[in-house]
Amino acid sequence: MNPTNPLRLLVALTACFILACPSYGSPSPIPVVLDTDIGSDVDDTWALAYLLRCPELEVKMVLCGTANTEYRGRLAAKFLEVSGRTDVPVGLGPTGGSSNEFQLPWVGDYQLSDYPGTIYRDGVDAFIRLVHESPVPLTLLAVGPLPNIKEALKRDPSIAPKVHFIGMHGSIDRGYGPEPVAETNVRVDVDAFRKVHAADWLSFRITPLDTCGLVVLGGENYQKVFHSTDPMLVALIENYKIWSELVTWMEVDFFEEQSSTLFDLVPIYMAIDDSLLEYDQIPISVNDAGFTLRDPENGTLTRTAMRWKDLNAFYDHITERLLGK
């Protein structure tokens, strides 16, 4: 996106407004693809559960990326089957490198061949075809590092103007604590984020740690989900328990009281109704260490969710959705 092109900016803002308001224009569900590194941090599994309970969104594919995509695909496929959503295809991105497989015990001996739905071994190709075949612009919900999308743009740059991009990426004024950091989804593949950030998307929005890093479900809302007998939520909590015992970058001693940080639910919310968020247009560049910097001289203007208007209302919203209300 050209930061100096006011017409491009106006078109992007208008598209974002229409996308965020389901009552505007067509009442048909918004076609979406979830690009995820599910299976490292459990928040991706929470995000998939939330996504499946959003009737405003039509899930065209869960596209698994980063490192061992076979493992991630098996996890996504089993979760979809338990959730009664084998209508949703699972795509695999290029594999390579080691990954944190903290939910592997839940996957067990489940194989991709066990999934009754569609498996795309070349998920990037399937994503490109979905973009071109969709009668309306497709929305990409990116909640992990971006090697899949980098590869898609390399194969076919013409997809970008047909896609609304919403991502969980970056850290502007705060990080996992009060100071900004090199956020993981950017740091893991800086080149991929740079290339995706520079593409000519129909619209481009992100939730950095400034907003998504604050989301922890607790209290009565968490207990409703924790004690639910809904098969999907039972599977969700099973995954959370396994992850909480195996995760190495933190000690989880709050499993029965609250969730871990639910970073990845925020981009999904942004696709259906972002009225609880406040945005800034920030000129962003990315340094080699993966820091997303305010850069008035060389940065690309990026619509960035920087503040919550009412975080408690968001907690009520995601609890009702997860419970199927």
4 lies in a domain?
no
Tell me: pLDDT of 174 over 70. Answer: yes
Mean pLDDT of 21-43: 82
132 lies in a domain?
yes
Confidence bin at 8 (pLDDT 50/70/90)? very low
Which pLDDT score is estimated for 325?
86
What residue numbers bound the domain in which 198 lies?
Answer: 26-322
Tell me: pLDDT of 78 over 90. Answer: yes
Which pLDDT score is estimated for 255?
98
Tell me how many domains the chain contains: 1
Which pLDDT score is estimated for 274?
86
CATH value at residue 263? 3.90.245.10
242 lies in a domain?
yes
CA atoms within 13 A on the CB side of 133: 8
DSSP of 247-309: -SSS----TTTB----TTHHHHHHHH--TTEEEEEEEEEE-TT--EEE-TTTPEEEEEEEEES
Tell me: pLDDT of 167 over 50. Answer: yes
Rounded Cα distance, 68 and 158, in Å? 28
Given a contact cutoff of 8 angstroms between Cβ atoms, the answer to whether 205 and 303 are in contact is yes
Average pLDDT of the residues of the chain: 93
Tell me: pLDDT of 139 over 60. Answer: yes
Please, which residues have CB within 8 angstroms of residue 39's CB and are 6 or more apart in sequence? 45, 71, 72, 75, 99, 100, 101, 102, 103, 104
Closest CA to 152 of 109, 94, 104, 96: 94
Which pLDDT score is estimated for 4?
44
pLDDT single digits (tens) 275-320 = 999 999 999 999 999 999 999 999 999 999 999 999 999 999 999 9
Given a contact cutoff of 8 angstroms between Cβ atoms, the answer to whether 286 and 193 are in contact is yes
pLDDT single digits (tens) 241-274 = 999 999 999 999 999 999 999 999 999 999 999 8
Given a contact cutoff of 8 angstroms between Cβ atoms, the answer to whether 215 and 314 are in contact is yes
Exposure letters 82-101 (e unless 16+ CB within 10 A, then b): bbebeebbbbbbebeeebbb
200 lies in a domain?
yes
9 lies in a domain?
no
Which pLDDT score is estimated for 20?
43
Confidence bin at 98 (pLDDT 50/70/90)? confident
243 lies in a domain?
yes
User: Out of 14-18, 194-198, 223-227, 235-239, which region has the weakest mean confidence (pLDDT)?
Assistant: 14-18
73 lies in a domain?
yes
